[in-house]
Structure 1
Amino acid sequence: MPTWTSPPQLVALAAFYEHVRAHPDAVSDAAFVQAVKNAHWPSNCWSYVEASFAIIASACLLRPHLTAALIALPIDAMIAGGLEDAGQVIALGLACATCSVAYVEPGAEGKRWLAQVWPGLGELAETVFQARWRATTELDGLLDAKSPFTLGYT
């Protein structure tokens, strides 16, 4: 598990991961996903992607059945950062495993998950990307020129 020493939310998350490892049935899936989400902090999109992969890698290792929900976190940031090609999602995650100067260090187990498991999740990553992309573009469609929420710019 990661051995983060800062920021405080990652220190708490590392302790949480250790607790879940020792007592796998002590935390519900919903509470688990919420704890992982709560460990994220505001940042620019691409730093968020890097931090998110570091955060979720250990979570996916502990609860593989939650992988689809967890990978949506960095994928949402990729889309917000302008990524339009789902085919790049796996490569971006792999880059987080091999980055020499990581924004957030994924830890040894996280790096192994990103290097060994993540590359085999292309189909899942594609499915999650497409679903998140559709949700984003549908929201954009709600704010078209006829919307009362636009600022009048065309």
Structure 2
Amino acid sequence: MTTRATFGRAISFTAALTACLALSACGSTVDAADAEKQATEKIPELAGSEMAIDSVACPEDVEYAVGETFDCDYVVEDGSKGVVTFEIENEDKYSLAIATNASGQVADYLLNEDEALASVECEDPIEDGSECSFEDEEGDTGTMTITLTDDGGFESAAEYD
């Protein structure tokens, strides 16, 4: 079984969204609290879902330099984890893109796409080569290997035990 997904509304690995973020201090470092607030608000919007974000943690010591990127870790209410990447575009804004999705989001997507699956659990965080274990409606189990694609989606290849 192979699944190919290009994420749009439901899941978005690299959905580029320019978020004009007011920098409280246009000085030498990015305002981590502001980035965390923006990520908390924008992640559900990018994913096109009502998911609740439990927490976001951004580094405190990111140099404000055009072209630099920084990652913030997030945890969804279901306990799954993801990473948000910000890129500093110019002196007035940085952009937000979801770099990896929380494993719970990927599992939900796979369950919705394949009605024969009864359950799917993926390791955190989702990376190229991540594995998801599954059980189908007949009780047979196996493993799906996730391959991230250049277009911001993923492919999964399943192998039964």
What is the TM-score with the length of structure 2 in the denominator? 0.28
What is the TM-score with the length of structure 1 in the denominator? 0.29
Q: Give the number of the structure whose residues are more often strand, by fraction.
A: 2
Q: Give the number of the structure whose residues are more often helix, by fraction.
A: 1
